[in-house]
Structure 1
Amino acid sequence: MPQVLKSLEHSGPLVLSYMDRSGKIAVERVATGFGMSKSQLAETAGLARETLYRSERSLGAKTQSRLREMLEIISRVSDWAGGKEQAMAWYRAQPLPAFGGRTPEALVKDGKAAAVRDYLDHMALGGFA
C-alpha cells in the first residue's frame, strides 16, 4: 500500500476534509475552518509564524506532519467535545493529569503527539486519567 494511503487510513474525516487532492493539508482551509489567521494556526501547531505563509515551507514534511498530528487529535475528541471548535478549545487549554497538567497543544509542540493519541486510546477503552 503506498505510504500516502497508509497514513490516510488512520486519519479521521476531519483530517481528510482539510486535505487537498494531493493528500497535503491545505493550510488556508484549516485556518479558515477554525476561524484563525495563518499566524494563529502556526502558533497552535508549534510552527514558526512565517512557515504557513510560504508555500514551499507549508508543504514541507515537518509542517505537514505537525498539522496532521494536531488535526488527528482534534478529530479524535470532536464528537465528545461537541464539535471541532470545542475540540480545538480542549486541545489548546485542557490540562492532562497524566502529563503533569500539560495541554495536548504543548505536548504536540514538543513532539509528543503519539503519547497524546495513546492517552486518548486508553481513555476511549475506559482507562483512567
Structure 2
Amino acid sequence: MAFAGAGFVTDFIDRAGIIDVDRVADAFRMTKGQLAETVGLAAATVSKAERRTAPRTQSRMREMLEIVSRIREWTGGETQAMAWYRSQPIPALDGRTPEALVKAGEAGAVRDYLDHLALGGYA
C-alpha cells in the first residue's frame, strides 16, 4: 500500500534499495548517534557500515521516515515533523510519543492513529 509522501522516503534510498543513514542524519541535522537514539538503536548500529544494512536497522529507519513523511505537511515541514515525532505525546496511545512507539516496535500503532486522523477521527 502506498502512503502519502512516498517520494520523501525514496529520497533517502540508494540504488541498492538501502536507506542511506548518512543522508537521513544530514537531512535532520543530527549525528548518527542521535539518529540511532531516535529510532531505538545503538549508535554503533548506524556507525558501522555492515550494520546499517541490517533488516532491523532498515526497518526502524523506514518506519521513522514514513511517519515523518506523513505528518510533515500539517506540521509545517521536516524539522517540525521530527519535533512532533520526538516529543508529542499521543493521548490515544497511552500518552507515548511516536518516537517511543517506534523504539518499542509499535510503529503500526502510530500509522493506525495517523490513518484515523486522516479519515476525520479525533486525536
TM-score between both structures, scaled by the size of structure 2: 0.95
1:19 is matched by which residue type in structure 2? I
For the pair 1:22 / 2:26, whether they are aligned, the reply is no
SS in 2 for 1:91: helix
1:128 shift after superposition: 1.1
Distance in 2, Cα, partners of 1:114 & 1:13 = 20
For the pair 1:117 / 2:111, whether they are aligned, the reply is yes
Q: Which residue of 1 aligns with 2:73?
A: 79
2:96 is matched by which residue type in structure 1? R
1:88 is matched by which residue type in structure 2? M
Distance in 2, Cα, partners of 1:60 & 1:92 = 23
From 79, 83, 88, the counterpart of 2:82: 88
Number of residue pairs aligned between Structure 1 and Structure 2: 122
From 23, 31, 42, the counterpart of 1:37: 31
2:47 is matched by which residue type in structure 1? Y
Distance in 2, Cα, partners of 1:85 & 1:13 = 17
**Gapped runs of 5+ residues in structure 1?**
1-5
Q: Which stretches of structure 1, 4 residues or longer, exceed 3 Å deviation after superposition?
A: none
Q: Deviations over 1:58-88 (max 9, x none)?
A: 1100000000000000000000000011000
Distance in 1, Cα, partners of 2:6 & 2:77 = 14
1:22 shift after superposition: 1.2
Question: Between the two proteins, what is the percent identity of the paired residues?
Answer: 60
Instruction: Calculate the aligned-residue CA RMSD, in Å.
Output: 1.2
TM-score between both structures, scaled by the size of structure 1: 0.91
